[in-house]
Structure 1
Amino acid sequence: MEEKIASSSRPTMHFIRQVMLRSVRGVLNRAGMELTRYEGDLEAAKLKKIFSGLNELAKMERALVPSEEVKFLTFAQRYLHLSKSQILQDLFVLHELGEKEDGYFVEFGATNGIDSSNSYMLEKFYSWNGILAEPGRVWHESLRANRRCKIDHRCVWSQTGQDLEFNQVNEPELSTINAFSGADRYGQYREAGSKYYVETISLNDLLRTHGAPPEIDYMSIDTEGSEYQILSAFDFEKYHVKVITCEHNYTEARDKLFSLLSAKGYVRKFQEFSEVDDWYVKM
């Protein structure tokens, strides 16, 4: 396990600024808008004032900022230099599980296993092990080169043994089962994708095939549209998953995922930070 030394080169203000920008982007996304040039679209002076104010509130732990959120922000700033996740998912997991070592993860889609990975930090610095699933051919070689855990190239789906058309696009992180290509605001980027068929495996069979333990510390689900279909077929009685991060991209599936996971005893946390994801903890 590699040394985990907090970086002193990342000022708290920079981190708070990034979190606030994510919150602003989340609001715009829900309104069907995008923030692509931060400094050009928002006045720097106003942003600085907002960040300074939030930072002061965090220091004082006033009621205006819930103490649990303050603790998470403080923790995330401390370990930000280790994170590979796109929007702090790995730090959320680490925070919720008390910096647990030797944990177990399941992540799909895994892309190349490093960039925007929600499990890379856990494997590299905290000696976690687990399963990665990624059907996109563009990622297969790099994924196997980058990670030491178990890897499956089948497409996680509600059923095993189907052949589904997969759409691999120029922005490969947006690749998905073709039936979901137009399900979110990124549909236009998938119109010219390369199509090929992939074999499916259910989440239950994925875990069984690779010998997953009955208690799974963390599950990361980012399949660009099929998340609800996968989880609705999952055996929550056989496997106890402590923390789940699940992409929703502000589609109608978000409410269905919330209803499903709430009924299974999960609580959604930190919506102001999680953007296109929802983060759940089993209570």
Structure 2
Amino acid sequence: MGKGADPDVGRIIMKKFYKSFSVAGFGLLRQRHLEQLEKIEADAIGLLRELAVRHGASISNIKSQLGQDLFALFQLGWKRNGFFVEFGATDGVLLSNTYLLEKDFGWTGILSEPAKVWHNDLQQNRTASLDFDCVWVETGKEMQFSVVEDAELSTLKDYVGSDSHSASRKAALTDTVRTVSLCDLLERHNAPKSIDYLSVDTEGSEYEILRAFDFQRYTVSVITCEHNFMPNREKVHALLVSNGFVRVYEGLSRWDDWYINTQHFNG
């Protein structure tokens, strides 16, 4: 749990997560077990939503798909005036992991989104610093970007077949985008050396981006990273563990992995 988090609530949530593992077991889930697991997860998210409201959140501003915003705030003790980095940000509202943080908790940060279809709405919806380059291993490269009808599934062309959404990208249009490394993105927008929350969702290129990141130059307290159950998931896990992170709440995060920096939370 984060500094300032309610330990009693944390224990309740952990019990629910442990129960979800016992329900799932190690084999294939039966339909009845799936229903039980979904109920347990819904209860845990419901508890976090209640806590968020107690700390000043508006239910209508909770936009994340799996509760990533609630997880980050809970781990950080419902911190106000923190700093986030989110990519890809879409329109800044749809499935956003940082909208709640900005609107109700006074956070600032950086939103990166290379898909042009989102840019106008993103500028209207958010007050955070915006960047329209594509976060990648290096800065200044021009790469092909596949834009699909379900625009939140758009990704670099090299990764269109990297996950379970590959069929949705078969009719993708191609655009050319410029790249920026994560470190250069932070420097470009004068980010603090301590990042409270990093949200990573690039539809396949997450490992390469994080592998190129200098974790000694910038410290990060909480990371959520989409994996879609693809092989790179464990590469990301090994990389983050080697940099002092631990994966938590797998019973809740589903196709995301959620990490906390052990130095921050044990220090």
Shorter-chain TM-score: which interval?
0.7 to 0.9
Q: Which amino acid aligns with 2:231?
A: E
Deviations 1:48-70 (A, max 9, x none): 7984xx59xx8xxxxxxxxxxx6
C-alpha distance in 1 between matches for 2:244 and 2:38: 35
Whether 1:186 aligns to 2:165 is yes
Q: Which amino acid aligns with 1:210?
A: H
Whether 1:211 aligns to 2:211 is no
Give the CA deviation at 1:126: 0.3
Whether 1:278 aligns to 2:251 is no
Which residue of the partner structure matches residue 103 of structure 1? 82
Whether 1:120 aligns to 2:99 is yes
Provide closer, same or farther for how the CA distance between residues 73 and 258 of structure 1 changes in structure 2, counting only shifts above 3 A.
farther
Provide closer, same or farther for how the CA distance between residues 179 and 123 of structure 1 changes in structure 2, counting only shifts above 3 A.
same
Q: Which amino acid aligns with 2:236?
A: L
Q: Which amino acid aligns with 2:71?
A: F
Provide closer, same or farther for how the CA distance between residues 42 and 242 of structure 1 changes in structure 2, counting only shifts above 3 A.
same
Larger gyration radius, structure 1 or structure 2: 1
Which residue of the partner structure matches residue 174 of structure 1? 153
Provide closer, same or farther for how the CA distance between residues 202 and 94 of structure 1 changes in structure 2, counting only shifts above 3 A.
same
Provide closer, same or farther for how the CA distance between residues 163 and 92 of structure 1 changes in structure 2, counting only shifts above 3 A.
same
Which residue of the partner structure matches residue 75 of structure 1? 48
Aligned-residue identity in percent: 44
TM-score of the superposition, structure 1-length normalised?
0.76
Give the CA deviation at 1:78: 3.7
Q: Aligned Cα RMSD in Å?
A: 2.9
SS of structure 2 residue aligned to 1:196? strand
Task: Report the more deviating stretch, 189-198 or 79-88.
Answer: 79-88
Deviations 1:57-101 (A, max 9, x none): x8xxxxxxxxxxx6x763344437242101000000010000000
Which residue of the partner structure matches residue 36 of structure 1? none
C-alpha distance in 2 between matches for 1:160 and 1:49: 43
Alignment of 1:1-283 (within 5 A): 47=35, 51=39, 74-79=47-52, 81=59, 82-283=61-262
Aligned residue pair count:
235
List gaps (5 residues or longer) in structure 1.
Answer: 1-15, 34-40, 59-69
C-alpha distance in 2 between matches for 1:127 and 1:48: 36
Q: Which amino acid aligns with 1:74?
A: L
Give the CA deviation at 1:141: 0.4
Deviations 1:126-156 (A, max 9, x none): 0000000000011000000000110000000
C-alpha distance in 2 between matches for 1:282 and 1:189: 35
TM-score of the superposition, structure 2-length normalised?
0.81
C-alpha distance in 2 between matches for 1:42 and 1:95: 31
